[in-house]
Amino acid sequence: MQLHDLIDRSHRAFQEQSAHAKVILLHPRSRYRSTLVAHLIHSTDTRVFYYAMGPDDINLQSFLAGITHDLANQYPTFGRHTNILPQDSDQKFDVLLDAFTRDLAEIDNGPCLLILDEYDRSDSADDIQRFIEKLIGQLPEHWKLIINSRTLPRLPWVSLIAQRHAVLLEDDFLIKNDFYKTETEGTHKLEVFALGPGYVLMNGQAIDSWEGHLPRLLFFFALDRPIITRSEICQAFWPELDTDQAVNVFHVTKRRLHKALDMDVLVHDGGYYRVNPDMSIHYDVVNFVSALMDGRDENEAKRMAAWQRAIDIYRGPFLQGHSDNWIVDRRNDFRAGYLEALTEMAHVRLDAERYEHALGLFQRALAEDNTREDIHREVMQLYARLGRRSEAAGHYQRLAEDLKKEKRQPAPETQELYQNIIS
């Protein structure tokens, strides 16, 4: 096949997948990722902004100074919110994020791509990784972020994919499983379950010698990203301790983790920690997200089976019973994927006129997240379709009372649906 045909295929795959995600990673294994970047820069269909990470991008302050300067050369008024902030390292993270997002939002004439090239130059900068992770969740609607990197960026790709924020592209191939290359390597077989209370099996036997909950949670934290730094671990687990104290507690926790599994679970390599490649890990979270991706694939012949597989794998909220900030964030990410699977399966049942089954699926979704007004409307409509209008009205009234406690009212479309049902 000719090179230009391969590039065209890669570009078509990019166009198809970028319609459904906020961030697209051109995977380090891609052969044509840099050629695709050049192709995108010269595109006339979308407004493209380009920034190549440089050797000075060693912290968030230098990164923001560099990117606002370069983007201002491409759009003269860019940076007017970010640049008025005091240029010091103590500037609040959320203030910087809000200002940069506002600068992006003001470029509002059509779809926009922000390409971060040579992203691996920022691998060692924890604050840049955190900034980009939070930026993905707050990108204005008309923006997409493209990352080109020679290494797999230190971002929580599995959870980003679960909430439909990210895709990983290897040329024209969408990566749909084993996102960090941890499942097929190694001789020590582990089965890891985080959807629910969280437990680990080794050779079919449950690990119960953790010496507290921290070693077990440290293991789950290490599975969240391709690699992690010690400072990331300390910030997530012991933010109230000074650096020396946090490092000491970390090393104690790591030793207990290694003792529980009778091997070096975390290996240190080039300044980063990662899960030992001698371990072959089958992780329910990865299987869950892979099932979601199969369900989202319109060309997948067994989409309904994929949605059902995702529903079956989800045995409960991520690490149920724990309330650490990073756990709550991931719990919300995976819950979003579970709700997607339930509602998609419910719509399949609706199309087949299996209304009671669809109603049960929507009710399961509300049992997981009672704040989704769109799902409340689905339930009301189904009650009405089944001739159970009094139950539809009662459902609306309970919703209105719950919202009243938060000093809110149902959305106008919910109120209109209620009026139509009772009229």
Confidence of residue 423 (pLDDT cuts 50, 70, 90): confident
Q: At residue 182, does pLDDT exceed 70?
A: no
Q: Outline which parts of the chain fall under CATH 3.40.50.
A: 3-174
Phi, psi at 192, each rounded to 5°:
-120, 130
Whether this model's pTM surpasses 0.95: no
Class of the domain covering 287-422:
mainly alpha
What secondary structure does DSSP assign to 88-154, as a single string? Answer: STTS-HHHHHHHHHHHHHT--SS-EEEEEESGGGGTT-HHHHHHHHHHHHH--TTEEEEEE-SS--S
Confidence of residue 85 (pLDDT cuts 50, 70, 90): confident
Residues 225 and 154 sit within 8 Å (Cβ to Cβ): yes
**pLDDT score recorded for residue 387:** 94
**pLDDT score recorded for residue 200:** 96
**pLDDT score recorded for residue 186:** 67
Average pLDDT, integer, range 182-189: 68
The Cα-based distances of 58 to 23, 65, 120, 161 in angstroms read 22, 12, 11, 27
Q: Outline which parts of the chain fall under CATH 1.10.10.10.
A: 188-282
**pLDDT score recorded for residue 88:** 60
Confidence of residue 82 (pLDDT cuts 50, 70, 90): very high
Q: Which residues of 184-219 are buried (b: 16+ CB within 10 A; e: fewer)?
A: eeeeeebbbbbbeebebebeeeebeebeeebbbbbb
3-174: which CATH number, 2.70.170, 3.40.50, 1.10.287, 2.30.30? 3.40.50
Query: Alpha-carbon distance 321 to 214, whole Å?
Result: 13
11 vs 367 pLDDT, higher one: 367
Confidence of residue 1 (pLDDT cuts 50, 70, 90): low
Confidence of residue 204 (pLDDT cuts 50, 70, 90): confident
What CATH number belongs to 188-282?
1.10.10.10
**pLDDT score recorded for residue 90:** 54
Average pLDDT, integer, range 218-245: 96
Q: Give per-residue pLDDT as tens, 53-68.
A: 999 999 999 999 999 9
376 vs 93 pLDDT, higher one: 376
Confidence of residue 9 (pLDDT cuts 50, 70, 90): confident
**pLDDT score recorded for residue 91:** 61
Averaged pLDDT score across all residues of the chain? 93
**pLDDT score recorded for residue 300:** 82
Average pLDDT, integer, range 373-396: 96
Q: Outline which parts of the chain fall under CATH 1.25.40.10.
A: 287-422
Average pLDDT, integer, range 343-362: 96
Residues 176 and 162 sit within 8 Å (Cβ to Cβ): no
Query: Alpha-carbon distance 168 to 154, whole Å?
Result: 13
Query: Alpha-carbon distance 154 to 180, whole Å?
Result: 11
Distance in Å from the first CA to the final CA of the chain = 64
**pLDDT score recorded for residue 84:** 87
Confidence of residue 44 (pLDDT cuts 50, 70, 90): confident
